Amino acid sequence: MSTLLWQKDGVVVDAAIQAFLAGDDVILDREFIRYDITASRAHASGLHKIGVLDADEWAAIDRELQQLDQDVVSGAFVLDAHYEDMHSAIEARLIDRLAETGKKIHTGRSRNDQVLVATRLWLKAQLLACQQHCTAIAQVALARAAQDRDVAIPGYTHLQRAMVSSGLMWWSAWAEAFIDNAERLRATAAWLDSNPLGTAAGYGVNMALDRAHVTEALGFARMQVSPIYAQLSRGKFEIAAIEAVCSALLDVRRLAWDLSLFTTAEFGFVKLPAHYTTGSSLMPNKRNPDVIELLRAAYARCAASRTEIEQLMSLPSGYHRDLQFSKPAIVNAFKQGGMALALVSPLLDALVWVPEKLNASLDASMHATDLALELAQSGMPFRDAYQAAANPERWETRSAESSLQARVSPGGHAMPMLEILAARLQTLI
């Protein structure tokens, strides 16, 4: 371990204690270091604005930070247990390259606001990526709603045959769901779009940092003005971000369940592209929908990460090292969530319906509700119409199209539903 930033008074740090303090934190910081570098560049420019760094010092620091960023990307610089954390690594590198000038970078900041700003920038990027995945899912679902509008699909309640449904209805459901999910991700990103850098250890600093400049340079919509609240928001914002992903994954879970059922031999409604299935190591006859099952399971891991942070959050105000454990949780949640969401739109694009199987699962009973409502519309009181339509002798085999025509959307027209969803989707692109 290199010299610790805070080592003083000749106290020797015990290796086991140091390892316990660090855990895998420094390895996790690989996920965040580029954001810490970005924030360090903004901080240096802010220090220049207020005269702490002269033009040459600022230029040198900025050049070295850009170089470090490139080295992180190329692999020439590897963050490892040689450093206590990414914050120490960045400062050590600047001091190594720039000596006295490098020692100025930490003026007016603390690792407490550094970690906040790096993770906040990361969360914003992750939320945006997940929002884009959800928008892509909604786009595919909406295109397929138009394309498969006349595919008749049995509609179930309680997993019992209920009414005739359609490709239009099934796909529109996912389109509307993922428009909502994308909007929630976007709203959450806007909700936490505030700059904590400049709040230092949680009690501000006795120097006139140009926080407005740094906030703008980092692309934040606003700054967190209360230093104590900046610390209180750690964990709270992380939970909100994970919840927004969880919302999308709840829909993925139910979609995956539909596909899991629809691909069984018993239903057989849908064929998956071969690369979305796997074989069995023992049973030569098998093609298993493992991808769909892991899509279904992604919610559980994401929700567990949310719980993990919630468990940590029983703390008084101020910074506490406990909060360090919110980092593995957000990485886990967004890795799982992001990977799962990214796979959904190509999967949906490649789904193939099997009309023979779908048609074989429709029966005359599934038109009974339509019949009851037709009788009611021609004047019979609904309860009497219901009784009349319950009689199997009145059930007739109808074409799915005729029964669907009247129910596809408000007003009985397919297109307004698709147009309404397309207009909402447009605001997300």
Where on the chain is the footprint of ligand ARG (CB under 6 A)?
Answer: 25, 85, 111-112, 115, 319, 321, 323-324, 327
Do the beta carbons of residue 266 and residue 159 sit within 8 Å?
no
Which of 25/370 has CB closer to ligand ARG?
A: 25
User: CA 212 to CA 194: how far, in whole Å?
Assistant: 11
Which of 86/292 has CB closer to ligand ARG?
A: 86
Which of 237/319 has CB closer to ligand ARG?
A: 319
Which of 200/217 has CB closer to ligand ARG?
A: 200
Report helix, strand or coil for 177.
Answer: helix
* Minimum gap (Å) between residue 306 Cβ and ligand ARG: 18
Distance from the Cα of residue 369 to its chain's centroid = 39
C-alpha dist (Å) from residue 373 to 21, 169, 274, 320, 408: 68, 19, 43, 63, 15
* Minimum gap (Å) between residue 15 Cβ and ligand ARG: 18
Which of 37/136 has CB closer to ligand ARG?
A: 37
* Minimum gap (Å) between residue 250 Cβ and ligand ARG: 29
Q: Who contacts 192 (Cβ-Cβ below 8 Å, separation ≥6)?
A: 120, 123, 124, 233, 237, 240, 241
Do the beta carbons of residue 175 and residue 202 sit within 8 Å?
no
User: CA 148 to CA 414: how far, in whole Å?
Assistant: 12
User: CA 134 to CA 308: how far, in whole Å?
Assistant: 25
**Could you tell me the two tokens for 189?**
């990103």
* Minimum gap (Å) between residue 41 Cβ and ligand ARG: 19
Which of 248/323 has CB closer to ligand ARG?
A: 323
Which of 323/331 has CB closer to ligand ARG?
A: 323
* Minimum gap (Å) between residue 34 Cβ and ligand ARG: 16
Do the beta carbons of residue 169 and residue 376 sit within 8 Å?
no
Strand 352-353 to strand 222-223: parallel, antiparallel, or no bridges (unpaired)? unpaired
Which of 163/323 has CB closer to ligand ARG?
A: 323
Q: Who contacts 295 (Cβ-Cβ below 8 Å, separation ≥6)?
A: 252, 253, 255, 256, 340, 343, 344, 347
Half-sphere exposure of 413 (CA within 13 A, CB side): 6
* Minimum gap (Å) between residue 109 Cβ and ligand ARG: 11
Which of 101/112 has CB closer to ligand ARG?
A: 112
* Minimum gap (Å) between residue 24 Cβ and ligand ARG: 11
Do the beta carbons of residue 230 and residue 113 sit within 8 Å?
yes
* Minimum gap (Å) between residue 63 Cβ and ligand ARG: 26
CB nearest ligand ARG: which residue?
Answer: 324
Q: Who contacts 195 (Cβ-Cβ below 8 Å, separation ≥6)?
A: 117, 120, 211, 214, 215, 218, 220, 222, 223, 224
Q: What angle do CA 364, 366, 370 make, to 5 degrees?
A: 105
**Could you tell me the two tokens for 163?**
């009414």
* Minimum gap (Å) between residue 324 Cβ and ligand ARG: 4
Do the beta carbons of residue 277 and residue 288 sit within 8 Å?
yes
Which of 6/284 has CB closer to ligand ARG?
A: 6
* Minimum gap (Å) between residue 111 Cβ and ligand ARG: 4
